[in-house]
Amino acid sequence: MLEFRCENLDGLDGTVKCVFLYNASAYTLDTGVIGEHADNKWIISADIVSDYFEWVNYFEATHPDHGWVRGDFEKTVYASSYTALGNFLDNFQPQNWDYADI
């Protein structure tokens, strides 16, 4: 289960800062979600990192109604609002994988 702690950043139009909590596993955005999504209106851009496994570290996503979400699930993710973050996560749950799998 994805666990995170969020806080509003004062003075930044409702911007939310979230830190995702995990133990020995990593959370990354699925590489297959990069691009435009006509069904939910999100547009996601990111660079794919490739080694033994392919993953996304930093990403940026925008939505015409909800705003934006950007960051790195292993560090910090920022969103224009809790609504933007919630809608993004409803549509794009990050992948969870174990470092020991590499």
Number of domains, the chain: 1
The answer to whether position 16 is within a domain reads yes
58-102 pLDDT tens trace: 999 999 999 999 998 888 888 998 899 899 999 998 887 766 666
The answer to whether position 102 is within a domain reads no
Take residue 52 and report the two structure tokens written for it.
Answer: 């033994």
The answer to whether position 99 is within a domain reads no
The answer to whether position 46 is within a domain reads yes
With a cut of 60, say whether residue 11 has pLDDT above it.
no
* DSSP one-letter string for 19-57: EEE-SSEEEEB-GGG-EE-TTT--EEEEEEEESSSEEEE
34 pLDDT band, cuts 50/70/90, is very high
The answer to whether position 82 is within a domain reads yes
C-alpha pair distances (Å), 16 with each of 7, 9, 41, 89, 91 = 6, 6, 21, 14, 18
The answer to whether position 72 is within a domain reads yes
Take residue 39 and report the two structure tokens written for it.
Answer: 């069904």
Closest of 27, 35, 37, 25 to residue 93, by C-alpha? 27
